[in-house]
Amino acid sequence: MKKSKLKIIKIGGNIIENEGQLDTFLKNFAAIEGLKILVHGGGKSATILADKLGIESKIIEGRRVTNQSTLDVVVMVYAGLINKNIVTKLQTHKCNAIGFTGADANLILAGKRPAKYIDYGFVGDIVNVNRQTIKQFLELGIKPVFCGITHDNLGQLLNTNADTIASEIAIAMSDFYEVELNYLFELKGVLQDIKDENSVITEINTKIYEELIDKHIISEGMLPKLQNCFKALEKGVEKVKIGNASLIEATDSLHTTLSL
């Protein structure tokens, strides 16, 4: 039997910070037909609040180091302010959404990342996604909205990269659905030249990916994003695309498509 389609969209960067862009995106997200899941980041907002509170933000290789004070901030920002603001706006577009951390309904279980070469603190690596419960929400017509917070089932919340959450949910749900994963941020896609916003590399396969790494065209924050993309493809996700918010408005928008 042919699988139903499921679209999973992760937003971050300036889409979240710009109220006008966010409003437009959420209107377009609400208009997408069929099953859908939204995953959001919020690192810039967390950094702004941390600065106001006098808490230093430390980022290594595109990932946030999370001590207890930082964890308190990211939980407040991700699970509170951003998540509930998004859910509220979606309701105005008659999109019946519900916001989740990984702790809610035990949806995403993670383990604290071991301190090897770098101690990231209270950062979680995903162990399990409760695909059956997510499927039940989808079948009820509810649109899940996930933030970048998971838990370890021992009472500890964990900061978890939202790109990774989107990838792992996509992998888990590919058991039931034909999944398309979209990563949306402020750029039109993966750029050949970071100074030229239109230098989008429209197609990247594993061979091209390795070449781009060797040439240092892909590095820093983009590197873990693409690692998540290729893992999703290897584990059964049908399509992965990277671009800005116009990606869900028009099929001919400039963007990057990933393939094996």
Q: Which residues contact residue 164 at a Cβ distance below 8 angstroms, ignoring those fewer than 6 apart?
A: 126, 224, 228
**Which position has the higher pLDDT, 31 or 223?**
31
Task: With a cut of 80, say whether residue 219 has pLDDT above it.
Answer: no
For residue 34, the Cα-to-chain-centroid distance in whole angstroms is 20
CA distance 58 to 141: 39
CA distance 137 to 97: 10
Domains of the chain, first to last? 5-258 (3.40.1160.10)
Residue 235 φ then ψ, to 5°? -100, 15
**Which position has the higher pLDDT, 151 or 218?**
151
CA distance 15 to 193: 21
pTM: 0.95
The percentage of residues in the chain with a pLDDT greater than 90, rounded to a whole number, is: 79
The 10s digit of each residue's pLDDT in 125-176 is 999 999 999 999 999 999 999 999 999 999 999 999 999 999 999 999 999 9
CA distance 35 to 4: 8
**For residue 13, what are the CA distances in angstroms to 70, 84, 167, 206, 216?**
19, 18, 17, 25, 22
The 10s digit of each residue's pLDDT in 176-210 is 999 999 999 989 999 999 889 999 999 999 999 99
Task: With a cut of 70, say whether residue 86 has pLDDT above it.
Answer: yes
Task: With a cut of 90, say whether residue 98 has pLDDT above it.
Answer: yes
